[in-house]
Structure 1
Amino acid sequence: MFEVSVIIPVYNAAEFLEKSVNSAVHFNEVKEIILIEDKSTDNSLELCKKLVSENPKIKLFQHPDKENHGAAASRNLGIEKSTGTFITFLDADDYYLPNRFNSEKKLFEDPKIEGVFGAISIEYITEKGRKEFQSKFSDTTLTTVNYPAEGKEVFKGLLGLTPKVFGTFFHLNALTLRRSSIEAHNLRFNEDLRVHQDSDFIIKLAYHCYLKSGIIDQAVAVRGVHDDNRITKIIKYSHEYNQRQFLLWQSQYDWALHHKVPKQYQKNIYLRYKSFDLSLKSGIKKFFSIILESIKNPKILKTQYRFAYLNR
């Protein structure tokens, strides 16, 4: 049976939360909406309680200590509390479109399919948010991949190892997973990452699970872009940007070693990790570190991330 648990981390989202919840609650496929309130400083908790009182599908949880633990920990708690056969995610300032589960219902008839992903569009909620987003990312109408793919092709595509450019990202809002597959591989979000936990999770997921593209030529969900989006505030290749990318690829590299991921993938992940490691060094130490690393791994000078450290 196609029963979905929708997990929504909630932190200072009172302005958007009701629209987000209402976009999901009406689907027949949605068994439950799990709100994980993460010690908001606005009235999000009161709004969560109101929504729970209005619909039995909606459930509210907080962390045991009722403190703030971040989106990764909130999603992990949501996974633990979920009871649906399938799991989806939704950010509290985003919303689903009416076609959200159109492809899943058919694709999941194939038992080997463990996850389905699609495309999302962008809604600019504030002018400042629009300017910040467009200054850092291409002004595209869809966040999606470039062609249909499944299985290991998805993992290789996310690492940039396919002959055609696959695309480097698809959004959690457009991802549906078999709960049994998440549990079988003990997949969780890295709680040490305050940003990029989604990218980290998706790449690991694509390695361990058989994913297939669903609707990739039109949006199945909408991402709201506004002044408080953390990712848009970071200046590309600034020290903060490089630090956060370093933590992401360090997480990936540690995982690749631990799980004995094939060497060709380990090498690709290592080059990204090392590029941002070098970017955080300075002065003469940085100069000699680049020289030594380029002798050991000449391909590092050809990565798309080389300017993160060579031009600073």
Structure 2
Amino acid sequence: MTISVIIPVYNAADFLEKAVCSAAQFDEVKEIILAEDQSTDDSLEICRRLAAEFSKVKLFQHPNGENRGAGASRNLGIDHATSEFIAFLDADDYYLPNRFDAEKELFKDPKIEGVFGAIGTEYLTEKGKHEFQSKFKEMSLSTVEYPAEGEEVFRGLLSLTPKTFGTSFHLNSLTVRRDSMKRNHIRFNEALRVHQDSELIIRLAYHCHLKTGIIDKAIAIRGIHDDNRITKIIKYTPQYNQRQFLFWKSMNDWAVAQQIAPEYRKRIYLMYTSFDLSLKSGLSKYGSIFLEILKNPDILKTKYRFTYYNR
């Protein structure tokens, strides 16, 4: 198998070389695509140096060196990928030596279009550690709860399985057939500045046959530091709700356009609507909630039903 690893780069000067070296160690990795997104630190110079040192490393920028966000940068990498498979890596994270062990076996089955696994967490700064642990439960291993494949993965990502599957898996652990992405027109939604990875993963799980790989130990490490966007998130604030609303609105637009099964379309609609309602205020908010409950009583089953309404 041949793999193109796509790394979006924005202000990652302190971490980029480690990320690139972690991908370059694999014989299967034929190219490492750096999509530089108008960094304001020394990232571009480091990209150029790495491209000169490693024959695998290829550097690309947006037209006129513009800043377009992580989604557009990953799409830039997809556009230039030439290998049979595509994998992703954030510039402040790194792969472990077992990163593609499961893939080498599972992709012998042509039915399997994507494989994903577990990632670990490393605290790179004390401030980042404090911010992360103050907002999220300890996650030494981010993974799904049990092995799954095909439609079960999609159902799990929508929390429709009888037992807890996990709400998502990290993009760093995903390897996917390039032809499958092309055939199903799967790209990152560039209009989303956050959550574009989660949005793509759900759509990918619907269109492609995904399968769990190594889920009981890490195959990649996520670095937590002062500038992680994830550590800046404060749940249930208007800004947080707005971001979730945009994410689920994009999912709802996709579900309607694709005319996916009613069960799935309804689930996505309820998630979208719960965040839409959370952004309203005053008496109109409670009137809208009442009318939505009359129309869709199942909205009371979403885990957001009171958390957002009462804030």
Which band: TM-score by shorter chain? over 0.9
What is aligned with 1:173?
172
Task: Give the CA deviation at 1:28.
Answer: 0.3
Aligned equivalent of 1:299? 298
Identity of aligned residues (%): 68
Partner of residue 30, structure 1: 29
State the distance in 1 between where 2:64 and 2:262 align: 41
Partner Cα distance (1:134, 1:307) in 2: 24
285-294 or 78-87: bigger deviation: 285-294
The 1-side partners of 2:74 and 2:127 are apart by: 28
* Aligned twin of 1:201: 200
Give the match for residue 90 of structure 1.
89
User: How do residues 128-277 of structure 1 correspond to structure 2 at under 5 angstroms?
Assistant: 128-277=127-276
Shift of 1:65: 2.4
- Distance in 2, matches of 1:277 and 1:308, equals 13
Shift of 1:232: 1.8
Q: Which moved more, 1:211-220 or 1:126-135?
A: 126-135
Structure 2 equivalent of residue 126 of structure 1: 125
Q: AA paired with 2:26?
A: F
Secondary structure, counterpart of 2:63 in structure 1: coil
CA–CA distance in 1 between the matches of 2:131 and 2:293? 34
Aligned partners of 2:148 and 2:118: how far apart in 1? 13
Q: Which residue of 1 aligns with 2:60?
A: 61
What CA deviation, in whole Å up to 9, does each residue of 1:110-153 have, x standing for no partner?
00000000000000111121122122222021110000000000
Question: By how many angstroms is 1:82 displaced?
Answer: 0.4
2: CA distance between counterparts of 1:202 and 1:20?
22
Asked whether the 8 Å contact 1:275–1:308 carries over to 2, the reply is no
TM-fit CA distance, 1:285: 1.2
Check conservation: 1:242, 1:308, Cα contact below 8 A.
no
Query: What SS is found at the alignment partner of 2:65?
Result: coil
Q: Secondary structure at the match of 2:199?
A: helix
User: C-alpha deviations, 1:73-103, integer Å up to 9, x for none?
Assistant: 0000100000010000000000000000000
Secondary structure in 2 aligned to 1:216? coil
**Partner AA of 2:89 in structure 1:** L
Over the residues paired in the alignment, what is the CA RMSD in angstroms?
0.7
Secondary structure of the residue aligned to 1:307 is coil
What letter is aligned with 1:154?
Answer: V
- Report the residue type matching 2:174 in the other structure: L
The amino acid that maps onto 1:103 is A
Take 2:22 and 2:177, find their aligned partners in 1: how far apart are those partners?
21
- Provide, for residues 244-298 of structure 1, a one-character-per-residue CA deviation record: whole Å limited to 9, x for no partner: 0000000000000001110000000001000000000111111111111111111
* AA aligned opposite 2:191: D
The answer for unaligned runs of 5 or more in structure 2 is none
Q: CA deviation at 1:302?
A: 2.0
Q: How many residues align?
A: 311
Runs of 4 or more, structure 1, over 4 Å off, are none
Hey, what does 2:43 align to over in structure 1?
44
In structure 2, C-alpha distance between the alignment counterparts of 1:49 and 1:106, rounded to whole Å: 35
How many Å separate the matches in 2 of 1:302 and 1:104?
37
TM-score relative to the length of structure 1: 0.99
For 2:69, the equivalent position in structure 1 comes to 70
Deviation at 1:309, TM superposition (A): 2.5
Instruction: Report the Cα distance in structure 2 between the residues aligned to 1:29 and 1:138, rounded to whole angstroms.
Output: 35
Determine the C-alpha separation between the residues in 2 that align with 1:176 and 1:75: 14
What is the rounded CA distance, in whole Å, between the counterparts of 2:26 and 2:39 in structure 1?
27
Secondary structure of the corresponding residue to residue 31 of structure 1: strand
Structure 1: give runs of 5+ residues left out of the alignment.
Answer: none
SS of residue paired to 1:309: coil
TM-aligned CA deviation for residue 301 of structure 1: 1.7
TM-score by structure 2 length?
0.99
CA distance in 1, matches of 2:268, 2:126: 36
Deviation per CA, 1:180-237: give whole Å up to 9, x if none.
Answer: 1000001000001000001000000000000000000000000001111112202101
Q: CA deviation at 1:299?
A: 1.3
1:65–1:308 Cα change, 3 Å: farther
In structure 1, distance between residues paired with 2:185 and 2:170: 21
